Chains A and B, each alone.
Chain A
Amino acid sequence: CFRNPVHMDSVLSGVNPDLASERLTASFSVEKLTARLDGGAEHTRMRRAIVEAIESDPAFSRENQYFQSQNERYEAAVRRAVHLQKKMREMGWTENGPEIKYIYRWLSGDIAFLLHRVFMRSISVLGSDKQVAKWIPLATEHQIIGSYAQTELGHGTYLQGLETTAVFDIATQEFLLNTPKISAMKWWPGDMGRSATHTVVFAQLYVHGKCYGVHPFIVQIRSLQDHSPRPGVTVGDIGPKMNFEHTDNGYLMLQNVRVPRENMLSRFCEVQPDGTYVRWGSQKINYFTMTTVRISILSDEVILPLMKACTIAIRYSAVRRQSKLKPGEQEAKILDYQTQQQKLLPQLAAAYAFHFINIYLHELFDRGYQEIQGRNFDSLPELHAFSSGFKAMVTQYCTSGVEICLRACGGHGYSLLSGLPSLYTRVLASCIYEGENTVLFLQTARFLIKCFMAASAGQPIPPSVTYLSSAKPGKCPAKDKLDFLSPDVYLKAYEQMAIRSVTKLQHLIQSGAEKHEAWNQCTVQLVKAAQAHCHYITVKIFVETVEKLDNKAGIQKVMKHLCDLFALHGIFSNAGDFLYDGYLSGAQMDLVTASYLDLLAVIRMDAVPLVDAFDFTDKSLNSALGSYDGQVYQRLYEWAQKSPTNQQVSPAYGKYLKPLLQNRLSKL
């Protein structure tokens, strides 16, 4: 066992013995694993220093967030955003510095002006040098506040369908922007409902009556003096949602709003003064912002919530006792129940798997970004396929994972004070924004089919999909349950399954693909093929990551267990796909199950240290159930008493209950 140092604050406050005992049995060094997750001990130090600076500033406290109304949440988010600017100046932090990601990670999105950052990024990527020089300083100084208006009431993921129009007027050298009908209203953009002064509007460009497709335009929507809407602009908040109460997602209607010709973002294409339309690159570049956003959300918006949910649920499961496992003993920790382990530990393994796939994707995209900056678009299709498929898979998996964690905490999971409901309602939005998941899976499937066709015709295909052409029929060689702890064995099974999912669509491929009706008739299978591909790559990257870890401090060993669990849980949960075609036999499936259940008991021993390694502070978890010291019940009781319902007298008693009890209802 590793002697992991115990946090100072927990020594002072007294850790629940049920949680303390979990930390004595760790098979690895928690601190070393944390450093590995952060990408080095120096990063861990920097992150902790930043978190410390933020948490010690009461202006950033989130203790009351669960008690606040939509109006209060919005105002608090704006206040925090403004305060953050001040704080950054004080601390010498900058928007491009290494600290920024830790700052936003800690704030976990509960702050205004996030879309302002997307506004800036889209100008940086899509704007000409001149446009960048004009707008970025204004935005950086918050002289203007931006948003990003793409989605419409009637159109989301399908961008070609957008209905907002921008008609070029040669006479005045302006674009005339219009919302021709109600379904064309911009709907959902964050920061737009109440805060933004400007926004990037995506609209169908018309020059001389010809439509050139969707293009981005910078549009001022509110006065810089008194914040009132500009003439021709109707703008407001779209109303309460499942979460994001602090964000003023907005609607926007434009009636003959004019912007100068220079406001069309023109790094890649331009309308010249005489109305000539010029393009310098693939039109797909317009989507590159979205493509990178899909990857950039994964870490903080999707994987982090799963890590937090696992931390809360696993710590609570070590504290909560229920029923007896052995007569005469005290009630057992619910973490000792196999059914509880089966709910939580696969989610923990997935959180690690996705942490590693996220690093891999970022490396891939950093390379791709360099190429695109140099106007080399060759890698775009592959990047697009990757961003689509993994965005869909990771968001879907994490969403269901967080919900499993929520429901694994019994009744207390439903209290907002557990922190789990707000984690869930936040993460589930990620299944929709930046591209609806089913549509995204189909885009990945389209790429896979094209690659498979190309490979069949002997053409070169990107390295990530070369496995598709290596199909060899065969059977899984495993004879014993221990054989399934060999990555070669399960990786091969995943590979075979992914290949089969794609080749099963042979008839579609042979028909030349994308005959629309045929395509629609196969979409259910196409989605499955894309999922199988992404699942396979995730397992593969996890295996490769584990191989590269050094085995100091027990880390490689415990990561190997998690990798095995992630892989075997996937086979167990999708047994039919692996049994089909007989690559795995029924008897082998029983071995997989046995091995999988054995792993649960092994990882159980390290479960709490494995979530400790995520290194969330109590304040960032903001959960009565998940605190480091495990003083769950006391915290829940004290926090509940601060609820406004207990602080104020409800008028309901005097107005309704009293007359009712005294049988004077008729006076109501």
Chain B
Amino acid sequence: IAKGRGEEGRPGGTARRGLQREGVINDPDFQHEDLNFLSRSQRYEQAIRKSSLMVMKLREHGIADPDEIYWFKRTCLGPFPEPFGLHFSMFQKTLETQTTDAQKEKWLPLVRGVNIIGTYAQTEMGHGTHLRGLETTATYDPATQEFILNSPTVTSIKWWPGGLGKTSNHAIVLAQLYTQGQCKGLHAFIVPIRQLGTHEPLPGITVGDIGPKFGYDEMDNGYLKMDNFRIPRENMLMKYAQVEPDGTYVKPLNDKLTYGTMVFIRSIIVGDSARSLSRACTIAIRYSAVRHQSELKAGEPEPQILDYQTQQYKLFPLLATAYAFHFVGAYIKDTYRRISGDIIEGDLSELPELHALTAGLKAFTSWTANAGIEECRMACGGHGYSRCSGLPDIYVTFTPSCTYEGENTVMMLQTARFLVKSYTQVSSGQRVTGMVSYLNDLSRQRIQPQHVAARPVTVRINDPISLVEAYKARAARLVEAAAKNLQAELNHRKSKEDAWNRTSVDLVRASEAHCHYVIVKLFTAKLSEISNAAVRAVMTELCLLYALYGISKNTGDFLQAGILTDTQVNQVNQHVKELLAIIRPNAVALVDSFDFHDVHLGSVLGRYDGNVYENMFEWAKKSPLNKTEVHESFHKHLKPMQAKL
């Protein structure tokens, strides 16, 4: 019913992409054994093989448009991480945006032609989200016009960068720049790490794989230790800051520019949250339509487990959430596209709000999707635990996004900083704009003796627009409470940081409420844009479910603020249950609309044809333990044991 607007949100491209997809999926070059049965080394090798092939096919088909490349890559590689991933994203992108023309001329042909393979080495063993704490040093030596790179401590060893361990021969390294005896802060350098031709590490470089992880088997996340490793002066990325031959440091003009990249990457994670949750929902909902269990009425056949209210209550709110996040992801991407023109022009006025918003939404959506994927897995009972369900893989591939590109709690606190700042502005009589404009209402209410919560209750629980108002009131109340608590702490204590820390639980709650409001608002706004009446009707049901379920899970906030009464809470709970029954007949169609191909879903439970059990048996027969009818352990251990006794 909503086909074509689900996964990509760009209906026009669906048909062409479908053709392209069939082409790749049927291409014999891309076939391989089920990844679940391969060792980590084998998975790495398969990933390298597929990535190399993909580069070749890109050349062959002459695909150059970035969106097309992105789509083609996803089709070739599926949802799995690739060791080349950072080469195309961070390495190439950084070189395109942060280099001088001379540097572009030297490096970009090599990068685009994949004559060198690069990665982006920022995180260190002892330092992650807090960038200023990085310890790697790059000391300028004017005598030779070189930078000397060092990893002075164990904690300063670069740790985690994808593709660093075994694949890359170059890396962009972030290091503290020292010149003329002074530290000038973090800067980026191009560092060759492996010998071209032999792929051996260069002298002064210690590089390797960080070992097995929770998922990401195909990725050689690596470590990098540098001992007095010298690179020419020209290897510092110098579009903004520069070091002149004599060591003179030239400052960059604007440091807000890096916000742009962060906004972009975090908006991708919001989209990933939507996609990963959609995949999990597809598997769990299809399987729940196939699985029969227990009895609802004595004497009748076992019902589909999707008919149980508890099962619907687990899955349908997640389905609604997946749709909500799709719209949010598209919104951020569009907003970023809209204002990135302004950014190039040097107008950065909208960037701080967008930056604050994407930080919070990145955290909110990745936390929710993470928990949602697990809920979907649990909803599939024991079989969800088998790797054949595909759910363990979705989870382990997605869950690190709660941490990478900014740890979620830290992200929530960044959003909170913006909210508190906006609140302070309103308190001092200024007006604020954008998504936080609801804070303006607070100043009007300040005339009244009671706080915002004491407004008369007017929420209509069947009306999404009215629910947006309820979420708005909750966000306002929690932002206000956090700001006031922060002020109280500040009155008691000397240090700002200490006061902030002692309020941080409240601040995170405020950010969550703000993000939740933004999502309900964006979902509601989307409804009026849907022209097809049937699609609009079912999307309205999902939107209502999303909003009401969120209330029922956070009744404390709504009750405490007096936004809802006990009676209304009952009505909300009741209406959630009614919506579950209303959505039930459309549930499978709603996941079919996400349009995942079986090959990409990678799940026996979530197969489009629903032939689950016979295919589980076929899958299991291929397990490595089943290679021989009697396992060698029998001869080695069991038989001697029994003989001895």
Contacts and interface: CB of A to CB of B under 8 A. Distances in A.
A624 B619 CA distance: 35
Contact of A156 (B56, B293, B497): B293
B53 A576 contact: no
Contact of A637 (B115, B209, B223): B223
A512 to B, nearest CB: 15
Contacts of A648: 41
B444 interface: no
B39 interface: yes
Interface stretch (B430-438, B459-467, B626-634): B626-634
A157 B298 CA distance: 17
Interface in A618-664: 633-634, 636-637, 639-646, 648, 650-653, 655-663
The B interface is mostly helix, strand or loop, or mixed, namely helix
B274 to A, nearest CB: 20
A433 interface: yes
A153 B387 contact: no
A536 B313 CA distance: 24
Contacts of A639: 211
A43 interface: no
Given A240-B36, A586-B560, A414 B48 contact: no
B638 A78 contact: yes
Given A156-B293, A579-B559, A633-B154, A645 B213 contact: no
Nearest to B294: A158
A252 to B, nearest CB: 12
Contact of A438 (B310, B402, B502, B577): B310
A657 B557 contact: no
Contacts of A634: 154
Interface in B13-65: 36-37, 39-41, 44-45, 48-49, 52-53, 55-56, 59
B621 interface: yes
Contacts of B374: 403, 428
B498 A325 contact: yes
A393 B408 CA distance: 27
B320 interface: no
A338 B498 CA distance: 10
Interface stretch (B89-97, B377-385, B420-428, B539-547): B377-385
A257 B625 CA distance: 24
Contacts, number: 369
A194 B633 contact: yes
B505 interface: yes
Q: Which of A228, A326, A522, A637 has the most CB of B within 10 A?
A: A637
B302 interface: yes
Interface in A391-426: 403, 406-407, 410-417, 421, 424-425
Contacts of A656: 45, 48-49, 52
Interface stretch (A181-189, A213-221, A460-468): A181-189
Interface stretch (A231-239, A260-268, A484-492): A231-239
Given A640-B223, A643-B211, A645-B41, A182 B386 contact: no
Given A71-B624, A516-B296, A575-B556, A633 B126 contact: yes
B125 to A, nearest CB: 5
Interface string B478-508: 0000000000000000010110011111001
A540 B453 CA distance: 34
Nearest to B622: A239
B309 interface: yes
Interface stretch (A139-147, A293-301, A473-481): A139-147
B559 to A, nearest CB: 4
Given A239-B623, A432-B382, A657 B199 contact: yes
A185 B621 CA distance: 13
**Chain B interface residue number, banded:** 35 or more
Contact of A411 (B403, B566, B569, B638): B403
Contact of B501 (A157, A161, A338, A586): A338
B256 interface: no
The A interface is mostly helix, strand or loop, or mixed, namely helix
Nearest to B160: A411
A74 B633 contact: yes
B214 A586 contact: no
Contact of A227 (B49, B385, B617, B630): B630
B133 to A, nearest CB: 6
B559 A432 contact: no
Given A151-B382, A156-B382, A339-B508, A322 B129 contact: yes
A342 B295 CA distance: 42
Nearest to B302: A161
B344 interface: no
Q: Which of B159, B382, B503 has the most CB of A within 10 A?
A: B382
Contact of A161 (B293, B502, B616, B636): B293
28 contacts: A70-B623, A70-B624, A82-B637, A153-B616, A154-B292, A156-B293, A161-B302, A182-B613, A193-B626, A236-B621, A237-B626, A331-B133, A337-B504, A403-B374, A407-B403, A438-B314, A523-B310, A577-B556, A586-B561, A633-B126, A640-B209, A643-B211, A643-B212, A645-B211, A652-B48, A662-B115, A665-B53, A665-B55
